[in-house]
Structure 1
Amino acid sequence: MKMLTQKMMWLGMVLVLIVLTVFGAAMMGSVLGSKPKEVPVALVILDQPAELPTGGTFAIGEMIREKLLSSPAMWIPRKRLGKDWINANITERW
C-alpha cells in the first residue's frame, strides 16, 4: 500500500489521463464535424436463389436489395447497371 502514498505515482497517473484526454478530444474533433459528400456506393448482387425443401426459392440477395432501396435514408440518386457493364469495367480497372 506504500504505492498509493507516493506522489510520483499519482502524478504519472494524472499525466497519462491528461494525455489520453487530449488525444481523444483531438480525434473526436476531426470525426464529429465531417460529412460525406457524394460517396459512391455499389450494391452488387450476383447470387442465385436457393431452392427450399418445400419447393420454393429463397432469394436473400433480392431481399437485401429491396430493404436497402426502399429505405428513406437512401436518398442518393441511383443508377441500375447491367452485368455486362459491371464485368467490363471491373476487368478494365483490375
Structure 2
Amino acid sequence: MFDFGFMEILLVCVVALVVLGPEKLPRLVRTLGQWVGRGRAMMKQMQQQLENEARNLDMKERREKIQRELALLQGNPVEKEAAQKSLPLKDVESP
C-alpha cells in the first residue's frame, strides 16, 4: 500500500522521539497499533460480508433458473409460458 523504506521509517521514529519524548512515544505506538488492528478487522469483516452477499445472489439466481426449468418440465401451461418468456435467448451459430 505505502512504499516506505527502512530509512523513511527510521526518520519518522527519530522525529517522533524528539517531538514527543520517550514518555509518550510507547503510548502513541500502542494506540496506533490498536487503530491498525481495528482497521484490518473492519476490512476483513467487510470482505466477508461482500463475499457472502455475492454467494447469496448467485444462489438466488440459480434457484430461480431451476424453478423456471422445472416449470417447463412439469408442463403447467401458465407456468410453462412464463418460464419460456423469462429464459434468456440462446446465441445462434453462424454458418
Tell me which interval the TM-score lies in, with the shorter structure as reference length.
0.3 to 0.5
- Is the strand fraction higher in 1 or 2? 1
- Is the helix fraction higher in 1 or 2? 2
The structure having more radius of gyration, on CA atoms, is 2
Question: How does the TM-score come out when normalised to structure 1?
Answer: 0.36
Question: How does the TM-score come out when normalised to structure 2?
Answer: 0.35
